[in-house]
A and B are shown apart, each in its own frame.
Chain A
């Protein structure tokens, strides 16, 4: 093959929801390709379909029509259990509200996806500690999640997303609940994971400052892609420390 398999390939994807008095169109013929190593920001006003796109790409929702190839596989042909297995082995999620298990230590939170991927106990612990090391908080492994700061919690969440060595990390407003400093640290972490480990990252945000930290910005409006352009190296260099 002359080119590597795209991590994500959406072909004319539509998603409609039944509502009172007709259907609501959330995605209106979206075509999008993410290559391995991409770092993409999806920007747009709320209600533009960003979240729906995220859920479709994250295999939590199925398109109404059109094709979605995840890592070369047509997901329409997969059952719910196979989608669950893909989520546990090939995808990582990062949420605005962290979504850590309460009253649970950081390392146990990071182990969670591996429980469902069938990783053995000793291996789970080893990989979880390694992931916490990558996100820079190895000393907090035994801390209880809800006693940590927002920035620390989001780092635990990122460790959880990368622990299964995924093809793609999906981040839904990952800095939405963080202050500027933590926000900056989290974005630097994403850049590092993308650069050093080659993980493809798809980031949904409505903050232009955050969006510009990616390599490519896809702009959304009314369920359609209205812009898709690389972030200039000058901007990238300017925002880097």
Chain B
């Protein structure tokens, strides 16, 4: 090594430079990495959820929707609430396979274009979004406008102990009403869409409890 003392593999100046830069980098990492982890931590913490009672089975008919206010996030009042449109499953039109969470159809009011709240218009039997004109039919399937997939749904169940219908976490569906973990609006789930928009680590999942 030119410039180094005999028997040394590095010059003392270069060694000192490396030590100074290295300790500076370690000191910077010591506060940057925890702060960064703190900022992205919520990506990996699951949203807490619980079965929310929304009323006795008599409240819901097969032919129209009942509007129920539900809570998505606790502790922030109105801003944490959302709306579910709920009806009894109608075997004549609801052709998707039936399981224990599907005796009542509960649709989320979030438009699958960009997340504005849709409104159910009973006369037209359509859900209509005020923002960019998305239109959904009685089952929540897209019939017009920019939405990329049918309205999201909630798991529902009957609680025999209380005699009330309960509403669980949200899930997303593709145009064949296959279930996916909850996605954000604007993310198609047909074909390549389900791979372009992978599941997240933060969403509430039925298997959590």
Chains A and B form a bound pair:
no
| Residues of chain A at the chain B interface (Cβ within 8 Å) | none
